Amino acid sequence: MKIHLKIWRQKDSQSKGVFKEYILDDVHQEMSFLEMLDTLNIKLVKKGEHPVEFDHDCREGICGQCGVMINGIAHGPLKNTTTCQLHMRSFKDGDTIYVEPFKAAAFPVVRDLKINRSSLDHIITSGGYVSVDTGQAPEANTIPITNEIAEAAFDSAACIGCGACVASCKNSSAALFTGAKITQLELLPQGQKETRKRVVAMVNQMEEEGFGHCTNTEACLR
């Protein structure tokens, strides 16, 4: 199928960005969104142009690198689906697709669609852990945890830190990201001791990085 692309091109964090237009004639439905960008990039490089820079690594939805805004929606039209797991069958022949980086004050653009998410690392660094050395593995039965609690904690731990919640929020808040880590550790006995200290440290850090606050409009859940 034929796809019209309007892609944000920005040389570095200091430069001004613009949308550039590209047309691809031979897009297959089975291609992932990133594979579609790969084919564009091979064409650009062969012409001696700089390829569209975008972050990606695992391409199976777990590394949290590949998020971009697709037609104004973080990771595109499918729910709970990262950009790499989005396939071109979600689009029609002749569609125009706008592709932009996640935009937030705390996510400076590195180049084109690449952004720097170190600010999320800093939030974790400020308290997203248990302050006890691991040491030898203890006997598993000394701290009983029910399956329901383990599963609930795991659900929160499943946040991949992609930053889509920030990109979707009118306040550019990282409350969902920060809250996920706080909830995961609060649910488990190993994490409970430090909850108060952790919440204050992580929320303060979130603010310091330039993320906004949550106003509970749940834009990040849509």
Partner 1 sequence: MRQVNTGKVSLYARHEMLDLVLIDGKAKGIIARNLDTGNVERHGAHAVVLATGGFGKIYYLSTLAMGCNVSAIWRAHKKGAFMANPSWTQIHPTCLPQSGEYQSKLTLMSESLRNDGRIWVPKDKNETRKANDIPEEERDYYLERKYPAFGNLAPRDIASRSAKEQIDEGKGVGELKNAVYLDFSRALKEYGKDVIVERYGNLFLMYKKITDIDAYLEPMKISPAAHFSMGGLWVDYELMTTIPGLFAIGEANFSDHGANRLGANSLLQACVDGYFVLPYTLQNFLADEIKNPKTDINHPEFDKAEEAVKRQMEGFLATKGNKTAEEFHKVLGSELYDKCGLSRSKEGLEKAIENIRELRKEFKENLIVPGNASEVNSELEKAGRVADYMEIAELMCVDALQREESCGAHFRIEYQTEEGEAKRDDANFCYSSAYEWNKNPSTPILNKENLTFETVTPSVRSYK
User: Any bridge partners for residue 6, and if so which?
Assistant: 21, 98
| Residue 129 near partner 1 by CB under 8 A | yes
Please say whether the beta carbons of 174 and 206 come within 8 A: yes
- Per DSSP bridges, beta strands 3-9 and 69-70 are unpaired
- Measured N-to-C along each axis, helices 147-157 and 175-187 cross at an angle, to the nearest 10 degrees, of 160
| Residue 128 near partner 1 by CB under 8 A | yes
| Residue 116 near partner 1 by CB under 8 A | yes
| Residue 17 near partner 1 by CB under 8 A | no
Only one of the segments 25-33, 68-76, 94-102, 210-218 lies at the binding site for partner 1 (rule: CB under 8 A); that segment is 25-33
CB 8: neighbour CB atoms within 10 A? 19
Instruction: Pick the binder of partner 1 from 21, 30, 93, 148 (CB under 8 A).
Output: 30
* 3-state DSSP of 131-171: CCCCCCCCCHHHCCCCHHHHHHHHHHHCCCCCCHHHHHCCC
Q: What does the alpha-carbon distance between residue 146 and residue 205 come to, in Å, rounded to a whole number?
A: 32
| Residue 28 near partner 1 by CB under 8 A | yes
* In the complex, least distance from residue 170 CB atom to partner 1, rounded to whole angstroms: 28
Only one of the segments 99-107, 113-121, 161-169, 183-191 lies at the binding site for partner 1 (rule: CB under 8 A); that segment is 113-121
User: Any bridge partners for residue 140, and if so which?
Assistant: none
Q: What type of residue sits at position 49? A: E
* In the complex, least distance from residue 216 CB atom to partner 1, rounded to whole angstroms: 28
Instruction: Pick the binder of partner 1 from 32, 173, 178, 184 (CB under 8 A).
Output: 32
Q: Which residues bind partner 1 (CB under 8 A)?
A: 11-12, 28, 30-32, 34-35, 38-39, 42, 44-46, 48-51, 53, 56-61, 63, 78, 81, 85, 87, 89, 110-111, 114, 116, 118, 121, 124-129, 131, 134
